[in-house]
């Protein structure tokens, strides 16, 4: 399922890669409890620029940074690289708005999560 009918990773899969990279950071560095925590992140904007096709079994690396941190939102910069290469095959951004799990109303980014995001911010 990694390669599509054209023999490469389909464009929509890159968004799944981006989501995995960002959520891994949020869980490991920010302490976000995606299953039971009172706050969750919802993607409200995303974009991707494709430069070079990748295909299974290429080995891939993911790049991550924080572009901007607001009171309840954060924009990430992400890249997908073939292992050992400096130029991204695809790069993009997506924005999470953090909301209360139950009400879906915006929630301020605080504590460990805010500290981790600010530490990774490249403004």
Q: What is the CATH number of the domain that holds 75?
A: 3.10.129.10
Q: How, if at all, do strands 60-69 and 39-50 pair? A: unpaired
**Enclosing H/E stretch for 66:** strand 60-69
**Is 72 part of any domain?**
yes
pTM of the model: 0.91
Q: Please report, in angstroms and rounded to a whole number, the separation of the first and last CA atoms in the chain.
A: 37
- Which pLDDT score is estimated for 15? 93
Please state the rounded mean pLDDT for residues 8-25.
94
CA gyration radius, the chain: 15
Q: pLDDT value at position 116?
A: 97
pLDDT of the residue at 123: 66
Q: Please, what is the angle between helix 111-119 and helix 11-28, to 10°?
A: 120
Residue 102 lies in a domain: yes
Task: Indicate if the pLDDT at residue 111 is higher than 70.
Answer: yes
Residue 40's φ and ψ, nearest 5 degrees, are -130, 160
What's the number of domains the chain is made of? Answer: 1
> Considering the domain boundaries, does residue 3 fall inside one?
no
Over residues 2-31, mean pLDDT:
93
């Amino acid at each position: 399922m990694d390669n599509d009918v054209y023999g490469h990773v389909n464009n929509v899969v890159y968004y799944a890669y981006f989501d995995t990279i960002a959520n891994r950071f949020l869980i490991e560095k920010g302490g976000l409890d995606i299953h039971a925590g009172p706050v969750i992140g919802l993607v409200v904007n995303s974009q991707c620029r494709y430069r070079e096709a990748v295909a299974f079994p290429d080995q891939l690396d993911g790049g991550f940074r924080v572009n901007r941190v607001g009171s309840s939102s954060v924009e990430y910069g992400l890249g997908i690289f073939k292992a050992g290469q400096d130029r991204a095959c695809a790069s993009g951004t997506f924005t999470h708005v953090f909301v209360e799990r139950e009400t879906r109303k915006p929630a301020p980014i605080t504590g460990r999560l805010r500290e981790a995001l600010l530490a990774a911010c490249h403004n």
